Structure 1
């Protein structure tokens, strides 16, 4: 017999995505989405816009009994743009302390800096063309009874973006 669907509460999409992405990141790069999400705070104003954590290389600790002895502090590879890498080199001691403070234990003992572009190219902020004809009349009919001008303007922008046709 099939069990009826029961709702367990609201789950944020970020939580679902993190549960899916974290194992892949941990296996391939040794990092998790929490580190990536908190990177701006960890790196500080000086380096948040020009750096990005790439991966953590963890070394296994050998135990005398032949069993797994855990991990030694790792090496964090950070991508950094251009000449800012020199400044990051001088500040890496403080950055290591911030990262270890984030993890709550001595997770990192060394930083490896790789010079490469970090920031994504700026997106063009294109506005959709105003609606005309039947789509414009339908949108006006849908939002006509709304009293708040701010809400009406926001819904008009949203409706225009949703209802406008894109060129192929």
Structure 2
């Protein structure tokens, strides 16, 4: 008689790996690497303002299927926030170069931009409160009778002076 195998919790990546792979293939991604490493691929000056949505691969021509011609490059669809779309369009050459360098071949030939809010936002650190000594010094110099207003103006002045 054999004893049943002891059941250990399985990592979530084991359970979702196949499912996520199918979803990414439907969007044209061979793997999730471009999504996971987007900030590294395009750099910190571009990554916060756009993210890859999908890759549209063209159908193979008969010559490409026979191996007589290289396959046509794909179109990378990027989600871009509205105000940055024009800037990203101007940087498209640099983005294409960096993405193709990541793939190691001329995989992507053009970009298509979709204006929409990004899914992930870079969270900024909350600003530091103003120095209390500076706030007190500014509050003393203000000729305002209302104490709450004077303190609010002093805090505002301290923040402005800090910048």
Taking structure 2 as the reference length, what is the TM-score of the superposition?
0.59
Q: How far apart, CA to CA, are the structure 2 residues paired with 1:94 and 1:52?
A: 15
Q: Name the larger-Rg structure.
A: 2
Q: Secondary structure at the match of 2:100?
A: helix
Contact 1:60–1:70 (CA under 8 A) maintained in structure 2: no
Matches within 5 A, 1:27-42: 27=26, 29-31=27-29, 32-42=31-41
Q: Structure 2: how far apart are the matches of 1:89 and 1:118?
A: 16
Q: Which has the higher helix share?
A: 2
Tell me how many residue pairs correspond in the alignment: 121
Matched residue SS, 1:83: helix
Gaps of 5+ in 2: 124-163
Please state how far the C-alpha of 1:14 moved relative to its aligned partner: 4.0
RMSD over aligned CA atoms reads 3.7
Structure 1, unpaired ranges of 5+: 124-168
Give the 3-state SS of the residue equivalent to 1:42 in structure 2: helix
Superposed CA offset, 1:96-149 (max 9, x none): 1111111122110000111111044799xxxxxxxxxxxxxxxxxxxxxxxxxx
Stretches of 4+ aligned residues off by more than 3 angstroms: 1-7, 11-19, 64-71, 119-123
What SS class does the counterpart of residue 43 from structure 2 fall into? Answer: helix
